[in-house]
Amino acid sequence: MRRDEISKVILPESEIPKQWYNVIADMPNKPAPYHNPQTLKLIEPDDMKAIFPDEIIRQEMTAERYIDIPDEVREMYRQFRPSPLYRARGLEKQLGTTARIYYKYEGTNATGSHKLNTAIPQAYYNKIAGIKRLSTETGAGQWGSAISLASSQFGLECSVYMVNVSYQQKPYRRSFMKTFGASVVASPSNLTNCGRSMLERDPECSGSLGIAISEAVEDAATHEDTNYALGSVLNHVCLHQTIIGIEAKKQMEILDEYPDVVFACCGGGSNFSGITFPFLQDKFKGQKLRAVAVEPTACPTLTKGIFAYDYGDTVKVAPITKMYTLGHDYIPAGIHAGGLRYHGDSAIVSQLYNDKLIEAKAYGQKAVFEAAITFARTEGIVPAPESAHAIRAAIDEAVLAREAGEEKVILFCLSGHGYFDFAAYENYFSGKLDDVEYSPDSNTSLNNLPPIE
Amino acid sequence: MRRDEISKVILPESEIPKQWYNVIADMPNKPAPYHNPQTLKLIEPDDMKAIFPDEIIRQEMTAERYIDIPDEVREMYRQFRPSPLYRARGLEKQLGTTARIYYKYEGTNATGSHKLNTAIPQAYYNKIAGIKRLSTETGAGQWGSAISLASSQFGLECSVYMVNVSYQQKPYRRSFMKTFGASVVASPSNLTNCGRSMLERDPECSGSLGIAISEAVEDAATHEDTNYALGSVLNHVCLHQTIIGIEAKKQMEILDEYPDVVFACCGGGSNFSGITFPFLQDKFKGQKLRAVAVEPTACPTLTKGIFAYDYGDTVKVAPITKMYTLGHDYIPAGIHAGGLRYHGDSAIVSQLYNDKLIEAKAYGQKAVFEAAITFARTEGIVPAPESAHAIRAAIDEAVLAREAGEEKVILFCLSGHGYFDFAAYENYFSGKLDDVEYSPDSNTSLNNLPPIE
C-alpha cells in the first residue's frame, strides 16, 4: 500500500490477534509481587479466589509470554476489532510538521473507549467459571459502561457501584449502563456493610472511588455467585489491552513504518500498556524506540511520585503493590480527566519506569484541552480528555520535529472519544478550567505507606 | 468470503464511491418541480442563488443519473468511509429467526450520524464558490454538529440557529458545535428581523424549527458572503446520501447476498433515500425488492398525510413542494426522535410512495425504545431513537420470517448512535414515555395548503 495515499489502515477480522502479549516474560526486572493488605504477607493465588475466577488469577501471576485469546472472546472482538489506525493528515497540515503522526483509535466501539478490550475477557472467564453476577465500581463511567455491555453479551448480571457525585452529575452514563441491563447504585449504598457505615457517618456522603471499590469487593466476597471486576492497574488488565499494540504494529508494518516514539495517557496504566508493550518487546531486543506515558500535573504519579509499596485503595482492601504512588490517601484535585486520577500506577508500568525503559511527562489541563480542540477541528474526532493528554504530547513532539526539520514517526493511542465529556469542554470554553499543580511538600499521604521493604 | 464467518464487511478506502446516484434519472414519474412561496410560480435556478452555490442548484435540478464526487470530498470521506456493514448475529440469535439481518452503520464518524455525508459536499461546494460563512438551523443537533464539523474542515465560518428549547435542554450538542468553532445562538435570536419580531411578541419564545429555518435563510439572503445549508428533504441532500446504499450494495455482493427488504427511518427522507435508492435502481429494472420507510405514529407523514403542494416550513420561506404532508402548521407532539418530526417529506420519496414503489410503516415510541434496547443488548450499539424505528421494523420482519420458516434477507440503515439521547432512554426507563397517535380529524393544518394544483 502506498503510504501517502491512505488515511487509515483497517485490518480484516481474520487479523484479530489470537494471543495477548505478556510483557512480564521479557522484562529485565519483574514487577514486585503483591502483598495482602491485612497480613502484609505475599499474596497467594488462593487469596484471590473469593473475588476472581481461576483463569484471571493465573493470568495475573504468570510470566508466560503469550496467552491464547479464547475463540468466544475473539468472536465478541469482531464487533469492533481490529480498530482503525489513522494517519493524522489534518493535524500534520495544521502543524506544518515534517513528522508523520499516526493514531490508533479505540473509540469506535459502543462504550467509546479501550475498556471493552478487557471487559469482554473478564466477563467470559467469569461466565465459564459458573459465576452469575459481576460487581464493580465506576467513577467517570467508562469502565462501568464497558463491563455492563460485556456482562449483557455473556448473560451475566452486573452490579455497578457508582461514586455518588458522578451518579448525580452523570445521569447519561447511568442510563448507558441501564440500557445494557446493569443495576447501578450510588455509592456509598445501603447494600454493603461498608456503604452503610459510611452513610451512618454522613447520609449525604458524596462517595469516592476508594469507597466504591470497597463496596464492590465486599459484594463479591460475600456472595457465592458473584465475582469482582477491575478496569485497570492489574497485570491481567494490562495483558488484555495489548491487543491494541499488536494490531497497531501490524498496521504500521503495512505502511512500512515504525514509530520513533509512542505516546499514551496513563492513569492506572492499562491504555498505556496496551499500545506500548508490543513495541517494547522489540525494544528489549535492541529496537530504538521511546515510549512515553502522559499524565496530568494534578495527579503526576510517575513524574512526581515515589517508587514504594502502597495500598491499592483508600480503604485497604486491594492488594499492596510496589509502584509509583502519591500515597493511598492522596485525593487529586477535581480535574476533568476522571480516568487519570488514580493515586498509583500499574506495577508493571512502574517497574519499567524505574528501569528507565519508558519515559513520563505531565501536562496541565488547559494545554490538554487546547490540544483536544486543535485535534477535533483538524481530525474530526472529539477526544476524551484523558486521551487528549497523549495528543498534547504528540503535538509538542511534532512541533519539535518541524523545528529540527526531522522526519519523525509519531504514534499515539486515542483511547476514547469525548461524547460524554462535553460538560468538561463547556467548562474550558467558559474559562472555568484551572491548571492544578501537585505540591509534594503539602502531600502528607506519603507518610502512611505500609511497612514493607 | 464465507458468509457465515464474518460479522462485518469493511471495504478499503479505494472503494469509496466516485459518483452519487441520482434516482430521478430512473423514476417513472419525476418529482413535481418546486414553487416559489411568495409568487407561487415555478422556481427558477436564479431564485436560489442568494442562498445556494451554483453546483448545489444544479444538483437540485438535474436528472443526470450519476454525479461525480469531487476528489476533495472523497478525501474527507476517507476519515470515516466506507462505513461498516454488520451482520446482526446477536440479534438474530436472540430472535431465533431464520432471517439473516444486516445493518449499515452510519454512526462511526465524529458527529455520530449520516448527516456528515452531505455536510461535507455542501461545505465544499460553498468553499469553492468563494463563500466565507454558512448559516443553518438545528433542532435535535445532529445536523448542526455535522455542518459545524464540515465547515471547520474547509475553513468556513458556521452560524447555527438552534431551536431555543433544544439550546437550553441540550447543552452538550451546543458544546459539540462550539468545539468545531461554530457560533451557536438560541433561536429566535436578535440577529435577524424574523428573530427580533418573534422576541418582541414573546421574549421567552421557546422557538421552533420553522423559526430557526427562517432566521438562517434570512441570514444567508442578507449577507453577500454567506450561504444557507439544509440537512434533509431537498434533492441534492438525498443525492449525497446515496453513498450509503452504493457501499451497502457492494458489501452485500461480497457476501453473495441481496436484500428482500430494506428498512430505514424517515423524517425528511435523506437517510431513507441514502440506503434505498441504489437498490431501487435495480427494482426499476425488475429486481424483486421491498423498500420500507419507517416513521413515528406521532408524525406519520407518509402513512397518514396527503399528497399535495405545501410550504416547506411554517413561515413560508422554503420552496413549496409536492409531497406527503400533515400541513406546514402541524406541530407534532414532543416525541424523542427529534429527527423525525418534519411535517412533510422529500419530494422524491413522496413521489415514489405515491407510485407504490416504496412502502411505509409507523410505530409508537414505546415499541421503538423496546426494540432499541433489545438491539443494544444483543449488538452492543446504543441506537439513536430515530434509527431505532428501522430496528423495530426489522425485528418484526425477522419474527414473521421465523414464524413462516423463511430464509429472508433483511437490511436496515442504522443511521446514528444514541450517545446524545440518554435523556430519552432515561424517560423510557422511568415510564415517562407515552405513545402518541396522530388524529387526522383534529389536524386543521391541512386547511392552509397553498393554492396550487
Q: Which residues make Cβ contacts (< 8 Å) with residue A67, sequence separation at least 6?
A: A19, A20, A22, A59, A239
Chain A residue with Cα closest to B152: A377
Contacts of B10 in chain A (CB under 8 A): 10, 12
Is B3 touching A (CB cutoff 8 A)?
A: no
Is A178 touching B (CB cutoff 8 A)?
A: yes
- 8 Å CB contact between B144 and B111: no
- pLDDT confidence of residue A2: 64
Task: Considering only residues B331 and B275, tell me which one the structure prediction assigns the higher pLDDT.
Answer: B275
List the grid coordinates of B48: 436560489
Please give the backbone phi and psi of residue B329, each rounded to the nearest 5 degrees, phi first.
Answer: -90, -5
Confidence check: pLDDT of B425 > 80: yes
- Distance of alpha carbon A249 from alpha carbon A265, whole angstroms: 19
B255, B422, B433: best to mutate for the A interface, most A CBs within 10 A: B422
Angle between helices A422-429 and A365-379 (to 10 degrees): 110
List the grid coordinates of A1: 500500500
CATH code of domain A3-15+71-112+238-448: 3.40.50.1100
- pLDDT confidence of residue A446: 87
Least confident of A226-230, B3-7, B95-99: B3-7
Min distance A69 CA to chain B CA atoms (Å): 18
- pLDDT confidence of residue B335: 67
Over chain A (453 residues), what is each successive 10-residue block's mean pLDDT? Answer: 74 93 98 94 92 96 97 92 94 96 94 96 98 93 94 95 86 89 95 93 86 91 95 96 98 96 96 98 97 95 96 84 92 73 93 98 96 93 95 98 97 94 87 84 86 85
Q: Tell me whether residues B382 and A153 touch, CB distance under 8 A.
A: no
Instruction: Please give the share of chain B, as a percent, with pLDDT higher than 70.
Output: 98
Confidence check: pLDDT of B6 > 90: no
Which amino acid does the sequence have at A382?
Answer: V
- pLDDT confidence of residue B110: 84
- 8 Å CB contact between A216 and A136: yes
Q: Tell me whether residues A376 and B112 touch, CB distance under 8 A.
A: no
Pairing of strands A133-138, A157-163: parallel
- Distance of alpha carbon A429 from alpha carbon B180, whole angstroms: 12
Residue B181 φ/ψ region, left for φ over 0, alpha for ψ in the -120 to 50 degree band, beta for the rest: left
- 8 Å CB contact between B280 and B352: yes
Please give the backbone phi and psi of residue B203, each rounded to the nearest 5 degrees, phi first.
Answer: -60, -20
- Distance of alpha carbon B20 from alpha carbon B246, whole angstroms: 8
ipTM over 0.90: no
Min distance A257 CA to chain B CA atoms (Å): 19
Is A66 touching B (CB cutoff 8 A)?
A: no
Confidence check: pLDDT of B137 > 60: yes
Chain B residue with Cα closest to A146: B380
**Stretch 406-445 of chain A: residues touching chain B, C-beta under 8 Å:** 417, 419-420, 422-423, 425-426, 429
> pTM for the whole thing?
0.90
Give the ranges where A338-384 is alpha helix by DSSP (H).
Answer: 347-354, 365-379
What's the pLDDT band for B419 if we cut at 50, 70, 90?
confident
- 8 Å CB contact between A113 and A106: yes
Q: Which of helix, strand or coil describes residue B441?
A: helix
Is B152 touching A (CB cutoff 8 A)?
A: yes
Q: Which residues make Cβ contacts (< 8 Å) with residue B4, sequence separation at least 6?
A: none
A74, A79, A368, A375: best to mutate for the B interface, most B CBs within 10 A: A79
Instruction: Please give the share of chain B, as a percent, with pLDDT higher than 90.
Output: 72
Confidence check: pLDDT of B17 > 90: yes
Min distance B32 CA to chain A CA atoms (Å): 38
The neighbour count for residue A24, using CB atoms within 10 Å, is 20
Angle between helices A235-254 and A270-284 (to 10 degrees): 60
- 8 Å CB contact between A386 and A340: yes
Q: Tell me whether residues A8 and B79 touch, CB distance under 8 A.
A: yes
Min distance B92 CA to chain A CA atoms (Å): 13
Nearest to A149 among B175, B180, B380 (CB): B380
Min distance A22 CA to chain B CA atoms (Å): 28
Is B18 touching A (CB cutoff 8 A)?
A: no
Min distance A452 CA to chain B CA atoms (Å): 44
pLDDT digits (tens, 9 = 90+) for B158-192: 999 998 888 887 878 888 999 999 999 999 999 99
- Distance of alpha carbon B135 from alpha carbon B224, whole angstroms: 12
B8, B81, B179, B420: best to mutate for the A interface, most A CBs within 10 A: B179
Chain A residue with Cα closest to B381: A110
Q: What is the mean pLDDT of chain B?
A: 93
- 8 Å CB contact between A226 and A133: yes
Nearest to B379 by CA among B433, B339, B428, B418: B418
- Distance of alpha carbon B167 from alpha carbon B137, whole angstroms: 11
Chain A residue with Cα closest to B370: A179
Min distance A133 CA to chain B CA atoms (Å): 16
Is B6 touching A (CB cutoff 8 A)?
A: yes
Nearest to A377 among B13, B152, B172 (CB): B152
Q: Tell me whether residues B429 and A178 touch, CB distance under 8 A.
A: yes
- pLDDT confidence of residue A332: 76
Q: Which of helix, strand or coil describes residue B74?
A: helix
Q: Using alpha carbons only, what angle is made at residue A116 by residues A115 and A119, rounded to the nearest 5 degrees?
A: 95
Residue with cell 468538561: A424
Which CA distances in Å does A50 have to A33, A53, A196? 19, 8, 22
Q: Return the percent helix, strand and coil in chain A, to nearest 5.
A: 45, 15, 40
Angle between helices B270-284 and B347-354 (to 10 degrees): 50
Q: Tell me whether residues A422 and B171 touch, CB distance under 8 A.
A: yes
Please give the backbone phi and psi of residue B171, each rounded to the nearest 5 degrees, phi first.
Answer: -60, -25
List the grid coordinates of B424: 430519552
Which CA distances in Å does A199 have to A106, A194, A212, B151? 38, 9, 13, 51
Mean of pLDDT values over B241-246: 98
Is B183 touching A (CB cutoff 8 A)?
A: no
Instruction: Report cis status (omega within 30 of 0) of the bond before A82.
Output: yes
Confidence check: pLDDT of B282 > 90: yes
pLDDT digits (tens, 9 = 90+) for B362-418: 999 999 999 999 999 999 899 999 999 999 999 999 999 999 999 999 999 999 999
Nearest to B179 by CA among B257, B111, B83: B111
Min distance A384 CA to chain B CA atoms (Å): 12
Confidence check: pLDDT of B231 > 90: yes
Please give the backbone phi and psi of residue B419, each rounded to the nearest 5 degrees, phi first.
Answer: -55, -30
Angle between helices B209-222 and B193-201 (to 10 degrees): 140
Nearest to A350 by CA among A293, A400, A427, A299: A293
- pLDDT confidence of residue A335: 67
- 8 Å CB contact between B16 and B117: no
- 8 Å CB contact between B199 and B188: yes
The DSSP 8-state label assigned to residue A333 in this structure reads: -
**What dihedral do alpha carbons B448, B449, B450, B453 form, nearest 10°?**
-140
- pLDDT confidence of residue B249: 98
- Distance of alpha carbon B22 from alpha carbon A194, whole angstroms: 65
Q: Which residues make Cβ contacts (< 8 Å) with residue B449, sequence separation at least 6?
A: B308, B309, B310, B325, B327
Q: Tell me whether residues B153 and A426 touch, CB distance under 8 A.
A: no
- pLDDT confidence of residue A165: 83
A148, A154, A175: best to mutate for the B interface, most B CBs within 10 A: A175
Min distance A176 CA to chain B CA atoms (Å): 7
Please give the backbone phi and psi of residue A394, each rounded to the nearest 5 degrees, phi first.
Answer: -65, -40
Q: Which of helix, strand or coil describes residue A9?
A: strand
Question: What's the N-to-C CA distance of chain B in angstroms?
Answer: 54
Q: Tell me whether residues A426 and B171 touch, CB distance under 8 A.
A: yes
